[in-house]
């Protein structure tokens, strides 16, 4: 194990048979330092599960870990003798709490004094070294096994041996620990009896493996200097995520065994080496147990009214994990960008006041926690960790890609005036966006999912009629499929009716209902209402990218509409789009959305930089290259045109484009030349003018006009009708400069006429 001991026999590795030859003697001042293990892993280093590698935390010397002086527990405790509910060990008048006395309710004598002392031998070969802690029910001692050199163990016995409830809890803990086998849960070795002097009967002690290290509670409250010394730096947010995922893995294992942990808190998790281990299973109980006394630490589980009403459940365990992670994150470095909000949203779901809104399993919570980590890593500049969503189907659709589309001939034939129009930087239409957003992965346990998988969505009426007759199609997945089919048919009322049907079958907290209600609102053009539904989906799935993509669009749409109350929407749209595209640079919708936001803010360079980062592996790579050319030369909202550097960048990118045929190429070249002529300063472009085939050999309006006229004539040859060809030829001749004396000649013709 990381501790240096074997996990079977708990011994150190055998010494080598032949020691290496001694090195030549050196003066004392020149002796090399002993090798030290690095505390901090390499920046961004991940383990085989994709989690950040924890810093190496050395185990303290056993003599430092255990105290030779017992520190009795503070605060009152329930008596527990014959189920007495009296409180014992309460201090009065500012005095220290008594470690022995009599219960004020039943009068039974109690004692919190430890039964063992340093030097005592338990079970014939476990020598007590000192006291580690006073747990919920028992004293915890550090001991060494005198039969195995350097093997240390933990002994756990009752604090108050007269507490009947504590005795039952100890039996349950021993039974549970004996059957559990998980690498991240403390292991029981054996159970021994020991009778102290003066005791009428022996006390039972659980013998467990000793996990040398520091509790997460110590890490939470340690001084900055000490924490930096041991960890090699501050506690990172990624380390908190690793803690959470490992803890949830252990908790999931317990749930699979039909057990609840009940008392998760930083004190019950040990960081040792580069690993952690869950300890102290004294509060463990079976799922569904409503009779035994519940043991927990105040502040970590749900409130007492809920526990009294419904008892402890799986979601209650996850509640305690959420509180534990929240307390640890308060000590760690803050997550980057939107990841900070996503983490807060995750904690809010785990600790939601309504149990129905919480995570349903440790695996579900762990997956979302892992997704939040991916978001944090990507926003922090680490290499993206590609993964497929477990909630949404991959999609090739993209919304708002008009910038990446070469203009059609109607761009020139259906406009009035000779001036080139501004770039189309407004948010796309809501209906277009709704149909391009990802689709949830069907529930494999829903019987209708397989039946609907191969059906086309162009005949929803036939499927709806069949769903009303066939019980196999009266499922949530069938209702959601019909909702999407009616949306594609532009029948929003029918789609809304089916999503309401699905909600009646599945309940109020199914994220799929929020998602589909958001799509319905988008198709109807109700962006504000759609944003509320997508926010609910985000709160249910804080690590997923799809809700953030939808929220980015809603914020962009409302910002581009220039609503007075939406002044910060541009910032929020940027935050959402940036989080999505950093996670997946191939995500075209997020890249184009972010580019539009930058353009509306007059940030041409930032918009082009976003498009340049779309990788070659993306199916939207060519569209991004086209958009970059158009962005470099186009007029921004407000009339701002390009400069010489932008023209040069467009010429360079255009030379590297590989379009399907000459038609798109000619149209794109025409648009570049049109903007270059329209935006040319009176004094010319200056020394930065990119002379060449695209913009000509000289920086004069006559030369640019001649090139543009030639391009328009080429487009006229591609026209599909006589009228379209005539419009293009008229525009080709209109851009040419007037010859000398042309206006005098024209006036003469008019007088003659």
- Give the catalytic positions in this structure: 263
Residue 602 gets the label, from left (phi > 0), alpha (psi -120 to 50) or beta, of left
Rg of the chain in Å (alpha carbons):
36
Cα angle vertex 336, ends 334, 340, to 5°? 65
Cα angle vertex 174, ends 149, 292, to 5°? 155
Q: Look at the block and give the residue holding tokens 């930032």.
A: 606
User: Using an 8 Å Cβ cutoff, are 607 and 599 in contact?
Assistant: yes
User: Using an 8 Å Cβ cutoff, are 247 and 300 in contact?
Assistant: no
Angstrom CA distances, 518 to 46, 438, 575, stand at 36, 12, 20
Residue 5 gets the label, from left (phi > 0), alpha (psi -120 to 50) or beta, of beta
Q: How many residues belong to the chain? A: 753
The DSSP result for 29-93, as a single string, is GGPPPPP---SSPPTT-B-TTSPBPPPPBPPPPHHHHSBSS--PPPS-EE--GGG---EES---T
User: CA 732, CA 709: separation in Å to the nearest integer?
Assistant: 4
User: CA 362, CA 347: separation in Å to the nearest integer?
Assistant: 13
User: Using an 8 Å Cβ cutoff, are 400 and 596 in contact?
Assistant: yes
| The two three-digit tokens of residue 114, written as one number | 């430890």
User: CA 267, CA 218: separation in Å to the nearest integer?
Assistant: 8
Residue 707 CA from chain centroid, whole number: 52
């Amino acid at each position: 194990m990381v501790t240096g001991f074997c996990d079977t026999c708990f011994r150190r590795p055998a010494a080598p048979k032949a020691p290496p030859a001694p090195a030549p003697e050196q003066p004392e001042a020149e002796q090399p330092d002993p090798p030290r293990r690095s505390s901090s892993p390499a920046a961004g280093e991940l383990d085989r599960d994709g989690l950040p590698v924890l810093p190496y935390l050395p185990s303290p010397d056993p003599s430092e870990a255990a105290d030779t002086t017992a520190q009795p527990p503070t605060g009152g405790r329930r008596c527990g003798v014959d189920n007495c509910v009296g409180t014992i060990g309460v201090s009065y008048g500012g005095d220290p709490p008594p470690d022995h006395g009599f219960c004020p309710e039943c009068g039974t004598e109690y004692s919190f004094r430890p039964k063992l002392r340093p030097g005592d031998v338990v079970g014939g070969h476990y020598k007590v070294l000192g006291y580690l802690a006073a747990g919920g029910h028992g004293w915890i001692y550090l001991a060494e096994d005198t039969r195995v050199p350097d093997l240390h163990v933990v002994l756990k016995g009752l604090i108050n041996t007269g507490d009947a409830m504590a005795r039952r809890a100890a039996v349950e803990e021993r039974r549970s620990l004996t059957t559990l086998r998980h690498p991240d849960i403390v292991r029981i070795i054996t159970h021994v009896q020991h009778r102290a002097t003066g005791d009428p009967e022996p006390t039972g002690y659980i013998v467990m493996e000793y996990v040398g290290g520091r509790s997460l509670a110590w890490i939470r409250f340690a001084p900055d200097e000490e924490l930096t010394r041991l960890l090699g730096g501050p506690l990172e947010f990624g380390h908190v995520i690793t803690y959470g995922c490992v803890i949830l893995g252990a908790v999931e294992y317990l749930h699979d065994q039909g057990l609840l942990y009940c008392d998760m808190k930083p004190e019950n998790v040990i960081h040792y080496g580069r690993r952690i281990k869950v300890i102290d299973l004294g509060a463990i109980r079976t799922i569904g147990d409503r009779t035994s006394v519940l043991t927990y630490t105040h502040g970590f589980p749900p409130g007492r009214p809920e526990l009294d009403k419904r008892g402890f459940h799986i979601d209650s365990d996850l509640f305690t994990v959420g509180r534990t992670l929240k307390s640890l994150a308060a000590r760690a470095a803050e997550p980057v960008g939107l990841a900070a909000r996503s983490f807060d949203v995750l904690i809010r779901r785990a600790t939601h006041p309504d149990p129905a809104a919480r995570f349903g399993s440790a695996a579900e919570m762990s997956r979302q926690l892992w997704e939040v980590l991916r978001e944090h890593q990507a926003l922090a500049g680490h290499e993206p960790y590609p993964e497929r969503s477990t909630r949404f189907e991959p999609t090739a659709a993209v919304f708002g890609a008009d910038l990446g589309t070469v203009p059609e001939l109607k761009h020139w034939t259906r406009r009035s005036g000779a001036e080139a129009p501004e770039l189309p930087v407004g948010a796309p239409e809501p209906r277009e966006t709704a149909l391009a957003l990802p689709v949830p992965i069907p529930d494999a346990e829903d019987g209708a999912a397989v039946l609907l998988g191969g059906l086309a969505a162009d005949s929803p009426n036939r499927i709806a009629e069949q769903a009303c007759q066939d019980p196999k199609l009266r499922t949530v997945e069938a209702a959601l499929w019909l909702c999407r089919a009616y949306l594609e048919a532009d029948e929003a009322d029918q789609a809304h009716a089916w999503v309401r049907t699905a909600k009646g079958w599945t309940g109020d907290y199914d994220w799929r209902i929020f998602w589909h209600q958001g799509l319905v609102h988008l198709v109807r053009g109700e962006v504000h209402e759609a944003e509320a539904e997508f926010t609910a989906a985000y709160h249910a799935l804080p690590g997923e990218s799809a809700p953030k993509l939808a929220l980015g669009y809603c914020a962009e749409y409302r910002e581009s509409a220039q609503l007075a109350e939406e002044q910060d929407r541009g910032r929020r749209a940027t935050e959402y789009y940036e989080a999505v595209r950093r996670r997946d640079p191939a995500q075209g919708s997020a890249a184009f959305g972010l580019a539009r936001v930058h353009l509306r803010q007059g940030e041409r360079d930032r918009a082009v930089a976003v498009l340049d980062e779309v990788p070659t592996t993306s199916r939207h790579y060519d569209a991004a290259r086209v958009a970059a050319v158009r962005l470099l030369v186009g007029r921004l909202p407000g009339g701002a045109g390009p400069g010489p550097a932008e023209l040069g960048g467009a010429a360079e990118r255009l030379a590297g484009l590989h379009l399907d045929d000459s038609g798109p190429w000619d149209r794109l070249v025409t648009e570049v030349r049109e903007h270059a002529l329209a935006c040319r300063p009176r004094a010319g472009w200056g020394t930065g003018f990119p002379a060449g085939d695209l913009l000509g050999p000289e920086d004069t309006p006559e030369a640019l006009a001649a090139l543009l006229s030639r391009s328009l004539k080429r487009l006229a040859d591609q026209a599909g009708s006589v009228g379209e060809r005539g419009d293009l030829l008229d525009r080709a001749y209109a851009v040419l400069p007037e010859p000398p004396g042309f206006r005098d000649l024209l006036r003469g013709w008019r007088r003659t006429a």
